[in-house]
Structure 1
């Protein structure tokens, strides 16, 4: 028959007081309040201003006026197609370059991979200025052409067109696709590639059946990030001098600074924020599935 426990429990446990309940949550209040004041309050003011017509009051008429403006519709279409085209270009070019760096042995491969990390810290206008030095109206390429042929001007005049903006965006944002791809390629078991190669599989088949499936999550995450950044890019469009290219960020600048139409600028900004936040939500979902 088991011996009954003395009142109060075993002697070793009598002097142990219950653990005090920890207070949680209050420490998070100050940073939440600070973030709300720094980020959410300006957004609230932005939305409030977008609903305030010039004559006062609160109305959605500013949205109707902006949506009916052909300049807004043109800027929205230009922003979307430039962002989509740049994203596709970055995905294709980034995949090819990352594939070469990761799986094609050549001297300096590690240095190139490190340079990709450094490239991510460059400001976008710096890349645009570099392209202007090379392909601008008085750039190196046009200068060499006029020196050789004696022509009055060179043939490279595309930087001030939408194609110049597209080239600059692909040049600048491609490393943002390469970085997650290089990380994904480093996790691939090279034994699979060696086994497939020993069985006679050619390089395109190895890329299609072994490498590409492993790279799809990284491609999706990198592409989502590039799409968001291209939608909000302002410096590249400004520094290329493409006067015929108007995107949503440049339209905000034009309405606010050049036209002093603050309500219209806020409407365009709200639309840009809604698109960006929606795509950011998609980016987070893709990144979570990719394990980022």
Structure 2
């Protein structure tokens, strides 16, 4: 009777699977985090630390104040932003036109054009600049043809060494980065939605403006933000055009760090370049979140 009234002993609690799963997740997450810290965070911190080196070898903000006060920095910053913005606008216009034609205007050879656009994505940027030099340079094929037709020895086209030459080269190279996201966005449109809009008497322009483009805004924002980020940091096209009077921030960083060996000054310029890129990325994330949120609500 006494044995029946005794409380049975509680069984031993096994190890919680949640804790074991959390430890396993930490073990899988730690190596990628360490790799990111090694290849991304450490160089940025190293550049920031180098930018605080003063002329006498100490630490301070003297290098920052000196570099930011120079007119060459302000001119390079303005030139970098203006070229990036103009190139991005040109890529958005040309890329949207090409994507609409490839997606909704079938023609013989459209698949070949799409393959050529994909091929441009794999090429280095300086090849486009070299092609521009062979075609539109002062001794290029176009100037040679115009000289034969007009009998003039002076080159009719001489824009490669100007900001417009850089902008045209960047538009040519970076337009596929707008075309591909737009084609992916257009592929998600239902054909029935377009047929219904057309059957209700809507013109092709109205269907494009009211049906197609609202669905493509996230893809257009993604492509435009990517192009703006790439053109903001582009150096190869600026270098190979030979535009000595067009100094952008990447070109100024190269001059400071490699030519004059002013590493603290180059580190300040590189820090500004990193801040511009991070600000652009954060702005893109906010814009993309707003666009996707508005699309989900509608």
Q: What TM-score comes out, normalization by structure 2 length?
A: 0.88
| 57-66 or 197-206, which deviates more | 197-206
User: Matches of residues 1-292 of structure 1 in structure 2 within 5 Å?
Assistant: 20=17, 21-22=19-20, 23-24=23-24, 25-287=26-288
Does the Cα contact within 8 Å between 1:218 and 1:290 map onto a contact in 2? Answer: no
Distance in 2 of aligned mates of 1:238 and 1:250: 7
After superposition, give the CA deviation of every residue in 1:181-216 in whole Å (9 maximum; x if it has no partner).
Answer: 000011112222223223332221111111111111
Q: Could you tell me how far 1:278 is from its partner in structure 2?
A: 1.6
After superposition, give the CA deviation of every residue in 1:108-132 in whole Å (9 maximum; x if it has no partner).
Answer: 2222223322221111101111111
Secondary structure, aligned partner of 2:175? helix
Does the Cα contact within 8 Å between 1:47 and 1:267 map onto a contact in 2? Answer: yes
Distance in 2 of aligned mates of 1:290 and 1:114: 30
CA RMSD of aligned residues (A): 2.2
After superposition, give the CA deviation of every residue in 1:39-74 in whole Å (9 maximum; x if it has no partner).
Answer: 222211111110011202111111111111000000
> Which consecutive residues of structure 2, in runs of 5 or more, have no partner in the other structure?
1-7, 293-298
After superposition, give the CA deviation of every residue in 1:67-115 in whole Å (9 maximum; x if it has no partner).
Answer: 1100000000000111111111111111011000000010122222233
Q: Could you tell me how far 1:138 is from its partner in structure 2?
A: 0.9
| 261-270 or 25-34, which deviates more | 25-34
Does the Cα contact within 8 Å between 1:89 and 1:170 map onto a contact in 2? Answer: yes
| 253-262 or 159-168, which deviates more | 253-262
Distance in 1 of aligned mates of 2:157 and 2:213: 36
| 273-282 or 35-44, which deviates more | 35-44
When residues 118 and 287 of structure 1 are mapped into structure 2, their CA distance, relative to the original with a 3 A threshold, is farther
When residues 178 and 162 of structure 1 are mapped into structure 2, their CA distance, relative to the original with a 3 A threshold, is same
When residues 149 and 47 of structure 1 are mapped into structure 2, their CA distance, relative to the original with a 3 A threshold, is same
Q: How many residues align?
A: 282
Structure 1 runs of 4+ with >3 Å offset:
16-21, 284-291
Q: What TM-score comes out, normalization by structure 1 length?
A: 0.90
Distance in 2 of aligned mates of 1:235 and 1:98: 27
Richer in helix (by share): 2
